Structure 1
């Protein structure tokens, strides 16, 4: 159901989004760092950025770059550009200054928007080489200004043009390597809103939308859905247990998407049951959640966890659970990520022949999403679909280790390792081997207050459950696995722990 504007239903996502933003007026729109910002205050950023870009001779349909953080000025910049129909290309701020500068130069955009701390000497020099105008945003007055020396774009330079229909270029989390940029069309953002909200329209007095995943990637979906539907949005700059719990308690939030690492962190922090009492359920996405962790959380807090599945290239979920599915299949299909959304077709294919697999058989997941196009899009996820249409995930094909012709699935080995009572989490990656090409290596996160299990004990554990070629050649025990800002384990960082 679209928001009505001037008595009619908007005929495009951009118009509907702009209507959602306009509807806040002087009412609360976004809460950040303990303060509510009104719709007018949020809109002021977009208007000031538009004026700065006009003064810099940047065309009104030219895409711009945003060195993004989960802060009010950046959220307002995203919202303002979407409402104006201007495309935004995300640049992660948590990279080194040199990496940010490299992105700025490579993108060759008419303008770059960033907070003052992100306008390093390297970033300014890169924008100058690219001929890009520079805009600085701030949470204090003046909220928008020009970067000295980058007041105007170099009109003699060729800059990237707008791609037809593209609203955003968002980034993957960079779990397996450098983040990849994915173009998302404005029309596809309609399904983003649907996948976040399951098509439900919240009442005016409903708890706010809760946004804390990184805005540079798929986390921006929470912000977009909230503003599109005229719902208040509470945002965190980064996840902390204290910040998460405080938001749940303060605003009576009923549901939230979480990464599996968040479930573990809440348990380890021994959060009081009453502090999470408003939650009706949590939605676990962005990676596998161990059944043991899920069971422990549900026993302790009495809050169900539902599994979901989506990807950056689809701008949201591909499948999910509905209340009706929970009622009929909640226990029997408990480990499923649900069924395909109404605008989505899913199938499992053999990775070599491309032939469609029988119900229950494992293969590569392919999706056809109506708003994206008529083609089947192959993912790198190994999955199966049962006779009732429920999807089960079994790992990632792009992480498979070829050990001298034997295929090792890291998630299969990881599941065995985390069953050890002294192992809280684990990660298995392929490392080079002169004879076999690749061999598995494991980093294990030791449970607090325990002693790392001997390597021989872990080898025997894997050998008891899996064929011998799955046994890692080496183990390293760490207090915490290396994670990126999306709270996913960084595979390159784990591989770097291997000493050969």
Structure 2
């Protein structure tokens, strides 16, 4: 059975039973499937072939989840377009893709988006939770059949986007056979009965967050969906639906602590999985001590369509205490090695270098990442930062995460971000933005500089510091490095 067939079977198995919860109500499998069928019918009327790829200006809403599920169940490729851009930027994405049709929320069909779709001769479909739930966009009822529209590489199911932490998001093609691997990597091969507590999905569907939706429907699991993360919404669904596990960004761990959420409110959780960035040990220790909920570290990336390394229950039992700071071992279909960034030579156990992975369903080749990591003799991987964020200060290499770790060791610093900024003499220099712990006195620049000078070579000391109420974050809750760099004012 192909992935498309098994995914369609997973969707069909819900029937009239609960499938996706969104904004206070459950939608049955039949309702979700009917939504997808309605979109397909409008596309058919618009002269868009059943196997032609379409674009989706994606939001974490029921109608968008139903569109994605419907496309995958029908074997129609879909390219994600982030909705949190300006209308002009969405229009530019539409023109670059040159697809037969664009599906977007009714509110996203701005004049700029309609104009862009008109310029490429594409059809437009508006979706909503209020009537009409699916409708052709005025003036875009039918694609211009005299125009050639783009096709995607054979076998591509999804084109998802990176989070755009270091620059503009990049589009990554996910092949249909790879989605089998996505399901496995999200669940670590675990299955659950149909009456098990639901899975929680709140990460952006335009990127790696869609994996939770794909795995949930494929395995006929109930899914509780949030349009965006907030502490109140997260806590409410944990309490209301008895969610037992959730993947979270490191920022969420800090937010839950800062909000002083009562321990009893998260009592349903058996564990959390922290991914998408470094979680400092102090925050992890504080969370586990307060809530008595273990946090497991994991590692994945958009280009791998899910996890690369993770902790399975048997690994937790045997190595959970002794290798606590590791992201686990590579999954069974994955090989990992650590290489010298300059020579490409494989490094021995314990040494830091760039992580490369070979994932059998994706490629027979080694894929190099920009993540600095080490692997011990037992095959457990530990992350140390990102090489593409390294700052070259007059020939001296500075790892921002190393400087950040020193800054957050100050009791008055809740969080920090270090980025490279232009320096007329040295090329680049580190600059730091910090959040101050509520109720604490703001440390002086001299105090922070001296802290870094005591712990690291002098070239690691930032040229300037700025204090912010909250570090700028993108919708994936990652700190936006360009936005932090924009805070710097040269002397």
**Shorter-chain TM band:** over 0.9
**Unaligned runs of at least 5 residues, structure 1:** 1-10
| 1:165 matches 2:155 | yes
Distance 1:410 1:29 in 2: 43
Q: Determine the structure 2 residue equivalent to 1:466.
A: 456
Aligned pair partner of 2:201 in 208, 211, 221: 211
Corresponding residue of 1:55: 45
Task: Verify: 1:277 aligned to 2:261, yes or no.
Answer: no
In structure 1, the partner of 2:431 is 441
1:302-381 paired onto structure 2 within 5 Å: 302-381=292-371
- 1:251 equivalenced with 2:244 (yes/no): no
Match of 2:216 among 211, 222, 226: 226
Aligned residues: CA RMSD: 0.7
Shift of 1:110: 0.3
Cα distance, 1:28 vs. partner? 0.9
> How many angstroms apart in 2 are the aligned matches of 1:452 and 1:45?
52
Within 5 Å, which residues of 2 pair with 1:130-145? 130-145=120-135
Verify the 8 A CA contact 1:255 1:282 in the aligned structure 2: yes
4+ runs deviating over 6 angstroms: none
> CA shift at 1:285, angstroms?
0.3
Match of 1:46 among 24, 33, 36: 36
Structure 2 SS opposite 1:448: coil
- Structure 2 distance, partners of 1:253, 1:138, is 27
**Mapped partners of 2:289, 2:320: distance in 1:** 16
Matched residue, 2:169: 179
Give the Cα separation in 2 of the matches to 1:217 and 1:325.
Answer: 28
1:304-345 per-position Cα deviation (integer Å, ceiling 9, x unaligned): 000000000001000101111111111111100000000000
| Partner Cα separation in structure 2 for residue 438 and residue 292 of structure 1 | 30
Q: Give the equivalent residue in structure 2 for 1:262.
A: 252
3-state SS of the aligned residue for 1:267?
Answer: helix
- The answer to whether 1:194 aligns with 2:184 is yes
In the other structure, the counterpart of 1:8 is: none
| Corresponding residue for residue 109 of structure 1 | 99
TM-score, structure 2 normalization: 0.99
Secondary structure in structure 1 of the residue aligned to 2:14:
coil
Q: Indicate whether 1:483 and 2:486 are aligned.
A: no
Counterpart secondary structure, 2:195: coil
CA distance in 2, matches of 1:161, 1:67: 18
Q: Is the 8 A contact 1:62 1:87 kept in 2?
A: yes
Map of 1:3 onto structure 2: none
What SS does the aligned partner of 1:167 have?
strand
SS at match of 2:190: coil
List per-residue Cα deviations over 1:274-299 (Å, max 9, x = no partner).
Answer: 11111111000000001110000000
Match of 1:127 in 2: 117
Q: Distance in 2 between matches of 1:145 and 1:380?
A: 43
Q: Distance in 2 between matches of 1:164 and 1:94?
A: 29
Q: Please, which of 397, 407, 420 is the counterpart of residue 407 of structure 1? A: 397
Distance 1:347 1:404 in 2: 30
TM-score normalised by the chain length of structure 1: 0.97
Count of equivalent residues:
490
Give the distance between the partners of 2:163 and 2:413, measured in 1 at CA.
25
The answer for the alignment partner of 2:375 in structure 1 is 385
- 2:244, 2:291 → 1: CA distance? 14
Instruction: Quote how far apart the aligned CAs of 1:205 are.
Output: 1.3
Question: Among residues 6, 14, 31, which one is paired with 2:4 in the alignment?
Answer: 14
CA contact (8 A) 1:61 1:162 kept: no
Cα-to-partner distance string for 1:7-42 (whole Å, 9 max, x where unaligned): xxxx11100000000111111111000010111110
Separation in structure 2 between the aligned mates of residue 162 and residue 474 of structure 1, nearest angstrom:
47
Contact 1:431 1:441 survives alignment (8 Å): yes
Q: Is the 8 A contact 2:199 2:245 kept in 1?
A: no
Query: 1:39, 1:394 → 2: CA distance?
Result: 43
User: Are residue 452 (structure 1) and residue 425 (structure 2) matched?
Assistant: no
**Aligned partner of residue 10 in structure 2, secondary structure:** helix
Counterpart-to-counterpart distance in 2, 1:452 and 1:79? 49
TM-superposition CA deviations, 1:229-261 (whole Å, max 9, x none):
011111000001111011111111111100000
Within 2, Cα distance between the matches of 1:27 and 1:205? 10
Q: Using the TM superposition, give the Cα deviation of residue 451 of structure 1 relative to its aligned residue in structure 2, in angstroms.
A: 2.4
TM superposition shift of 1:370: 0.3
Pick aligned residue for 1:71 from 49, 61, 81: 61
Counterpart Cα distance in 1 of 2:80 and 2:316:
36
Deviation of 1:272 after TM superposition, in Å, equals 0.8
> Residue 91 of structure 1 aligns with which residue?
81
**Partners in 2 of 1:134 and 1:73 — Cα distance?**
15
CA distance in 2, matches of 1:250, 1:383: 39
**1-side partners of 2:321 and 2:33: how far apart?**
46
